[in-house]
Amino acid sequence: MTTQSAFKRIGLFIRKDDPVMENAVEQVNEFLATRDLTVVCNEPLSFLPSLDVISIKEFKTHCDLTIAIGGDGTLLSASRALAGTNMPVVGINVGRLGFLADVTLTNLSHQLDAILCGHYRNDSRFLLNASITGGTKPPSIAMNDVVIHSYQNLHMIEFETHINGRFLNSQRADGIVVSTPTGSTAYAMSAGGPILDVDLDVVVLASVCPHTLSNRPLVVSANNVIEITLSENNITTAMVTCDGRPGLVLQPGETVRIEKHESRIRLLHLEDHDHYSILRAKLEWGRKLTC
């Protein structure tokens, strides 16, 4: 006998430009159909024309669980769109092992059934807001990182960093990454930053190819307000990129303000979820060394 589901209305989130989703979405939809649940999707699907389609912005009133199908990038997109709704999100990983999306198609029926029946671990992650001081555009949201880098060329940029209004430093570099613990295994790690425990309430500032050899990553409280000003000496503009998606153009003399978002994202994991196990697998820490 099937145990009653803890969730009744499911929203499937996929990225429209992902061509490998058809088989995965069909598997998930077939499984959910056996549970007598209401299912909607954020995109129209030619292979599932009977599936109701609504914008993810409407998920908060029509759904009580979002399932992001694809990988970490898809889950990040869903999380940004759902910021402020407190809607739980489950990631189904299609392809390589993900840090965030840990339900697999191979074990879909067992793993997703456990979560639907209420056997899961809550994982709360904070987000970042990035906005141009005095600008008219709304803030951009990041779950992984905010990156300031040269726009449309390979020039280094010159910028100053202030934390809570206090001057930190002035530097020339290819850019700077301001990362949450969630994003510490992404671009920030490539820039030489530390891997942060996901439960820490901190952010890391890691410069990308800094011109000064003494420059080192800095970890500060996530409750700080970080302001990065593009020097007027720059001959080019910069781009403020959130989670790898271009957003705000930063002109010489302008300041980007980065601070913690007022809401958090609620991820659901399997009860035996082990972040360190994922780190070992993803970063190949457990490989046996050979002479």
Tell me if 144 is assigned to a ligand binding site.
yes
Q: Is 142 exposed, middle or buried (0-12, 13-18, 19+ CB in 10 A)?
A: buried
For the chain, the maximum distance between any two Cα atoms, rounded to a whole number of angstroms, is 70
Tell me if 190 is assigned to a ligand binding site.
yes
Tell me if 187 is assigned to a ligand binding site.
yes
Tell me if 73 is assigned to a ligand binding site.
yes
Tell me if 174 is assigned to a ligand binding site.
yes
Contact between residue 137 and residue 173 where contact means Cβ atoms under 8 Å apart: no
Distance CA 189, CA 276 (A): 16
Distances, alpha carbon 186 to alpha carbons 182, 268, 278, in Å: 8, 21, 14
Cβ within 8 Å of residue 177, ≥6 positions away: 145, 146, 147, 183, 187, 188, 191, 193, 204, 205, 206, 207, 208
Tell me if 5 is assigned to a ligand binding site.
no
Residue 72: active-site member: yes
Tell me if 155 is assigned to a ligand binding site.
yes
CA dihedral 22, 24, 26, 28 (to 10 degrees): -150
Instruction: For Cα atoms 255, 177, 129, give the angle at the middle one, nearest 5 degrees.
Output: 55
Tell me if 1 is assigned to a ligand binding site.
no
The residue annotated as part of the active site, out of 17, 18, 64, 72, is 72
Tell me if 189 is assigned to a ligand binding site.
yes
Report the candidate in 167, 155, 170 with the shortest Cα–Cα distance to residue 207: 170
Tell me if 72 is assigned to a ligand binding site.
yes
Report the candidate in 27, 164, 145 with the shortest Cα–Cα distance to residue 93: 27
Binding-site members for NAD(+) are 72-73, 144-145, 155, 172, 174, 185-190
**Residues tagged active-site:** 72
Q: Which residues does the annotation place in the binding site?
A: 72-73, 144-145, 155, 172, 174, 185-190
